[in-house]
Amino acid sequence: MIPVTEIVADEEIEEVQEPGLTYYIDPVKKRIVGTADGLEAVKQAVFLILQSERFEFLIYSTDYGTESVRLVGASASIIKSELSRSIRDALTQDDRISDVINFQIDFRGDTADIRFTVVTIYGNFEQEVTRDV
């Protein structure tokens, strides 16, 4: 006999925030050196998301990583807008990140130096990244 489960629509569903405990990767030693939680875990997640190209790795969902912004011949204002959108879209997929603000983008030849503030449920922090444009 096949078991039957009855779903009652009137029951309240309680959302639970899962802990952010993860292994900590030391960027200098390039080794796992313990665990991180809270703001440190979010900082590591941001670093990893920004290092991953969206749609390139089958192990990640299509929501993970950033999309390359290659707008040959586009104006600086359009490139800035697309870089900001791409980074904000990638990072806000993480439930712990509520917004990405205060973008400052400076161009050096074919690269852009990008600084911004990541707003999380644990507090805010500054992040920097360099992108080819």
CATH (domain of 110): 3.10.450.40
Q: Which domain covers residue 45, as residue numbers?
A: 22-56+68-132
Phi, psi values for residue 9, rounded to 5° = -75, -20
Residue 97 CB coordination number (10 Å): 20
Q: What pTM was computed for the model?
A: 0.80
The average pLDDT across 24-38 equals 91
Q: How confident is the model at residue 12 (pLDDT cuts 50, 70, 90)?
A: confident
Identify whether 103 is part of a domain. Answer: yes
Tell me whether residue 65 is exposed, middle or buried, using C-beta atoms within 10 angstroms of its C-beta: 0 to 12, 13 to 18, 19 or more. buried
What total number of domains does the chain contain?
A: 1
With a pLDDT cut of 90, the percent of the chain lying above it is: 53
What is the spatial distance between Cα 43 and Cα 125, in angstroms, rounded to a whole number? Answer: 8
- The rounded mean pLDDT for the chain is 87
Identify whether 12 is part of a domain. Answer: no
Identify whether 4 is part of a domain. Answer: no
The answer, yes or no, to whether residue 14 has pLDDT greater than 80, is: no
pLDDT at 57 (0 to 100):
85
